[in-house]
Structure 1
Amino acid sequence: MLAVEGVSVAFGGVRALDQVSFEVGEGLVCGVIGPNGAGKTTLFDVVSGLRSPSEGRVLVAGRDLTGVSAVRRARAGVRRTFQRTQVFGRLTVAENVLAALDWHGGGGGLAADLVGRPARRRLERERRERVAEVLELCGLSALSDAYAAALPVGRRRLVELARALADRPRLLLLDEPTSGLDAGQAARLGEVVRALDTTVLLVEHDMGFVMGVCDRIVVLDLGRVIATGTPGEVRDDPVVRAAYLG
């Protein structure tokens, strides 16, 4: 589903990423780990389209998206959350999630809104049903009508996850998804991620979460891939232990 081929990013004389290559199979959960400054967030920016690589390519489902904007990637099924929560504070939880579906439009324009055409009403009902489904999956149903700004950080992060899932992404990028979550919420998140019928790439510092959730792990150090493999293989790799796990 995802192929990163020889990706490099340079900031002046510093190479944040240096010939990074790896693949993630369809439906798998892949973790990206490494010490601070390893290039994890830069990699996410490249995959999601927020930054262009100086070298290399990013392919999703065989399609080269290297020169494609972040908006067009999102509409092609690449969705992302961020380290810092980014919710619409003045909207309710349900409205935040519904916003992820609005780009599809409703057909018929203003006239259809005013007269309430059956097709428009059906579409609105289907979207509301999808929102309810995702909120239930993320454990947010009871907070559907709460304003996002009033929620603690951990709940806002779950709202972001629900919003990213609403449009059924093909590739989901999760940047530090357990940050701000308590142990119970993190466990719930792990269950949600494992149950998803989509490909997931995540950056996370919680090694217990990574080892328990991921099928594959990519280890970065100073912008280079130093190891890839199953959680067990990575845990036992002496190079990884020396550079990161210690």
Structure 2
Amino acid sequence: MSTVIEVAEVGVRFGGVQALSGVSLAVRRGGTCGVIGPNGAGKTTLFDVVTGLRRPTTGTVRLDGRDVTGTGAVRRSRLGLRRTFQRPQVFGRLTVLDNVLAAAEWHGGGGGLAADLVAWPARRRLERERRERAAAVLDRCGIGDLRDAHAADLPIGQRRMVELARAIVDEPAVLLLDEPTSGLDAEQAALFAAVVRDLETTVLLVEHDVGFVMAACERVVVLDLGKVIADGEPARIREDPVVRAAYLG
């Protein structure tokens, strides 16, 4: 299988702190890879580098064979890379439905301002199709009945599901999930896992819930103090003495 994400010898320094050091990671197309490690290991920093929110001090990032090291987050998102955050980032003043629709608006509607003014039939059809797609994704994420609620009024678990729906409505090529089960109850976590499992996309996730990672991922990478200390199948990672000493205990 071809590689869709390739991180090569990435280093990130914050003043005198080396947050990442020589990190290399390749994720195959359609694969599900988990990144675990203790607090301060560099997991979120790695995500920021992959998504373009932070430029590495050293090393390169390639997306589907293309060097995107110097490319910003917006451009990478339009290349098919989507992300959720450790603390859900929703548009609080918008409804749940509008939060999800926002992820598809960058495609435009064709015809420009004139099409808006005359209510061009093609524009209306496209808007209807987007709304139907968004509604279907909300139902899939178990929050279809909340489509008219304002995102700011929702508890963290439901906001996290809104963020997931927004991330997948535009059919991403790569989905990065940062602490996806944080704030979810057992039922929501199971639904979240089921939605992600059914996606036909590449998934890279950071998660403190080791059980969730071991069950959801076919491969696990372990970071400690900004370095990769293990990389392999969940069963091997679980028994790795170095990983147990550094993280699993």
User: TM range, normalised to the smaller chain?
Assistant: over 0.9
Residue by residue, what CA displacement relative to the aligned partner does 1:194-225 show, whole Å, maximum 9, x if unpaired?
Answer: 11110011100011111110111100000000
TM-score (norm: length of structure 2): 0.97
Mapped pair 1:110 → 2:76: no
- 2:21 counterpart residue number: 18
C-alpha separation in 2, matches of 1:32 and 1:133: 30
Mapping of residues 99-178 of structure 1, within 5 Å: 99-178=102-181
C-alpha separation in 1, matches of 2:185 and 2:172: 26
C-alpha separation in 1, matches of 2:160 and 2:99: 12
Mapped pair 1:53 → 2:60: no
Deviation at 1:81, TM superposition (A): 0.9
Match of 1:75 among 75, 78, 90: 78
Q: Which runs of 4+ in 1 moved over 3 A?
A: none
Mapping of residues 172-211 of structure 1, within 5 Å: 172-211=175-214
Match of 2:101 among 98, 102, 112: 98
- 2:46 counterpart residue number: 43
Deviates more, 1:30-39 or 1:11-20: 11-20
C-alpha separation in 1, matches of 2:140 and 2:8: 34
Residue by residue, what CA displacement relative to the aligned partner does 1:35-90 show, whole Å, maximum 9, x if unpaired?
Answer: 00100010000000010111111111111110101110011111111111111111
- Secondary structure of the 1:196 match is coil
TM-score (norm: length of structure 1): 0.98
Mapped pair 1:34 → 2:46: no
- Secondary structure of the 2:204 match is strand
- 1:87 counterpart residue number: 90
Give the gaps of 5 or more residues in structure 2: none
C-alpha separation in 1, matches of 2:39 and 2:225: 9
C-alpha separation in 2, matches of 1:189 and 1:167: 17
Mapped pair 1:220 → 2:199: no
Residue by residue, what CA displacement relative to the aligned partner does 1:75-117 show, whole Å, maximum 9, x if unpaired?
Answer: 1111111111111111111110000011111111222112111
C-alpha separation in 2, matches of 1:3 and 1:133: 32
C-alpha separation in 2, matches of 1:136 and 1:29: 23
C-alpha separation in 2, matches of 1:145 and 1:132: 11
- Give aligned pairs, total: 246
Which letter maps to 2:64? A
Deviation at 1:13, TM superposition (A): 2.1
- Secondary structure of the 1:219 match is strand
- Secondary structure of the 1:88 match is coil
Which letter maps to 1:168? E
- Secondary structure of the 2:30 match is coil
Give the gaps of 5 or more residues in structure 1: none
Residue by residue, what CA displacement relative to the aligned partner does 1:13-41 show, whole Å, maximum 9, x if unpaired?
Answer: 22100000011111111110000010001
